[in-house]
Structure formats: C-alpha cells, structure tokens
Copies of this chain bind each other. A is one copy, B any other.
Amino acid sequence: MSRPYRVAILGATGAVGQELLELLESRNFPLADLKLLASARSAGQKISFKGESLAVEAVDDKSFDGIDIVLASAGGSTSKAMAPKAVEAGAVVIDNSSAFRMNPEVPLVVPEVNPEAASEHKGIIANPNCTTILMAVAVYPLHKVKKIRRIIAATYQSASGAGAKAMAEVQTQASAILSGQQPVASIFPYPLAFNLFPHNTPLNEMGYCEEEMKMVNETRKIFGTQEIRVSATCVRVPVLRAHSEAINLEFDEPFDKDEARKILSSAPGVKLVDDWQGNYFPMPIDATGRDEVLVGRIRQDISHNCGLELWLCGDQIRKGAALNAVQIAELLVEKNIVKPKLAVALT
C-alpha cells in the first residue's frame, strides 16, 4: 500500500481542476489530505469530494505548508508566482501551465514516454501542452522502434483547450445561429460554432503560433532529441472537449503499416480504433471522457517511401491535461520520488 500524501490543487474550480478532483477520487490516489486552492474570487466555494464537502481556499504564500504534491492548473502567471513558494515549502509542483515547460531545470513528462525524467526534478515537473501529449503518446512507440525524422501535424482542437467558458460560448453561439441570430464571441476572437479558425495564440517571426511551437519544442524535449523536425498547423474547431490530429510521420527508413499497427495495438495509453471494414476511426465523441488516445487510419504515406500517416483523437481535459498530471503524481508515489511528510491516512 502506498503511503498517504497531502495534495493541493491550485485552480480547483476550472475545467481541468474539476477533472483533477474526479481523477484523484476514481483512481484512488493515496491521499492524506486534499486542499483546494483558487483565486480569492472563488474562495469559499464548496466542492464535493468522496462524499465530503470541501471549501475552496484563496491561495497565498502560506497555502503550501505541509503539502507534498501540488497539482497546479491556474494559468501561467499564477504558476510563475506560486510554484516557487510551493517548492520553498517543500512540495513538488506538477504544473499544467506553459510557464516552466522549456526551462532546462524542469522535467517535461509524459509518463508513457519519459517517466525517468520525473526523478530529475528540482521541485517542479511540467505537464506538456495537450496537443503535444496526445501526439507523443501515439507516435513515441513507433519512434522507439525506428527514429522519426520529421512530423507534419494538422490539429482539430476543441473549445475546452480555452477553458470551461469557451465550451459554454460555442454552445451559446450555436444556439444563437440556429435561431437566426448573430453569434457573439467574447472568449474567442471569432465565432467558433459552425466555423473554425487557426489557433489564435501569438505568432512568432516565422509565422508559427505558440500552440504550434509547443508541438515543435515540447516534442523534442519529451523525446530527448533535437533531431526531430516538426511542423504543425493548429486549428480550433467547434467540438467541445476532444482534440483530433492528422499526423504525417517520416522515418529514416520505411516503416511497415502493419508493424506500426501491431506496435500501437499494445502501446501504453493508446487504444487502436482502426476498423477498415466498417470505415470507423477515432472521433471526438468517442474520445470524450476516455483515458486513452484513440489512434487509427494507420497507412503508408503514398507520397513518401519512409512515411506513415495516422489519425488520433484524445480527451483534451483528461489525457491532454488532468490525467497526465495525476499520472505524474502516481509516478512520484510509485517510484518513491516524493516522500510524504505525514504518515497518517485520511480516514
């Protein structure tokens, strides 16, 4: 039996925070204590956990005293301000924001890919970007067998990547359009219902948006190689909470599609949905609420003799964010990377 840990969730009231709570409960994480932290605005809000009603506390410098593990999902600026305080208090922070991901002192971990990196932490472990996690889980098992040289990705990203309010916005817009009214956009810059647009994060001087550069740089860091070349086109689509990705892979040598399918059929975190008879492949509605990344349409790229094409869908809130963070926490427990300060179980 694992010893019990004192855990804090920072950003407990958001879409990812809610999923973190659900996962800690359903996966029976060995908790001694659970603290729910958020901005002062959300303080006092009650959240049910394992039949108990827990009050959300406003986060401050003292919030992390005695805490073993912090699951942070409150945005980059909150993480930048608060993670160092938590580390100072002796906690390990698993951070869902992009604040520390490319910091060379901070491991960037997908447990199915580079679990060993977690033990090199100096107090903070970063959870990768959602699109990157989903792609990494699907393509790393192939990379282990034959090196990937180049990836060209096109994404179909759900509203949930921009939070719970964005999910509500696309539904409100759809409702307006269906009753003949103009859709109103406030979270997103443009209407998303019955529409789509390139991901609206800031663009760099090469013309790639931040989301795309995350796929480029985080993939390299997670795979531990600077030699994979990646190009991506990230697009927001009117889907609620599962991302899809069309992935073109180029290897150093030919990779047989049947071998790829066999490898992925038993790869951790992957569920093969590759029904050629039924013309049935991964869809967001099937990925929603699931832990696995659904992968299918694995085929030889007819434009390149060392190419493979594949298609994936994964729950953006779950494996794209909350589940990966909880899996990292489980890794810290299993590998004894974090030792609990308390020895008294939550009863």
Contact = CB atoms under 8 A, between A and B. Distances in A.
Given A207-B257, A239-B195, A233 B156 contact: no
Given A152-B303, A154-B246, A195-B284, A233 B297 contact: yes
Number of contact residues on A: which range applies? 35 or more
Nearest to A307: B231
Interface centre among A152, A248, A281, A304 (most CB of B within 10 A): A152
B194 A239 contact: yes
A208 interface: yes
A89 B164 CA distance: 62
A244 B189 CA distance: 18
A148 to B, nearest CB: 11
B207 A299 contact: yes
A174 B240 CA distance: 12
A174 B238 CA distance: 11
A248 B151 CA distance: 11
Interface stretch (A4-12, A198-206, A317-325, A332-340): A198-206
A302 interface: yes
A29 interface: no
B216 A302 contact: yes
A195 B158 CA distance: 9
A223 interface: no
Interface residues of A: mostly helix, strand, loop or mixed? mixed
Interface string A124-151: 0000000000000000000000000011
A274 B276 CA distance: 39
A150 B96 CA distance: 37
Interface string A181-224: 00000000111011111101011001111000000100000000
A171 interface: yes
A298 B151 CA distance: 19
B196 A229 contact: no
A283 interface: yes
Nearest to A179: B175
A109 interface: no
30 contacts: A150-B303, A150-B304, A151-B303, A152-B152, A152-B303, A156-B196, A156-B235, A156-B237, A170-B194, A174-B174, A178-B178, A189-B279, A190-B285, A195-B239, A196-B244, A198-B311, A200-B279, A206-B299, A206-B300, A207-B299, A207-B309, A208-B299, A208-B302, A230-B303, A231-B248, A231-B302, A231-B303, A233-B246, A233-B297, A248-B248
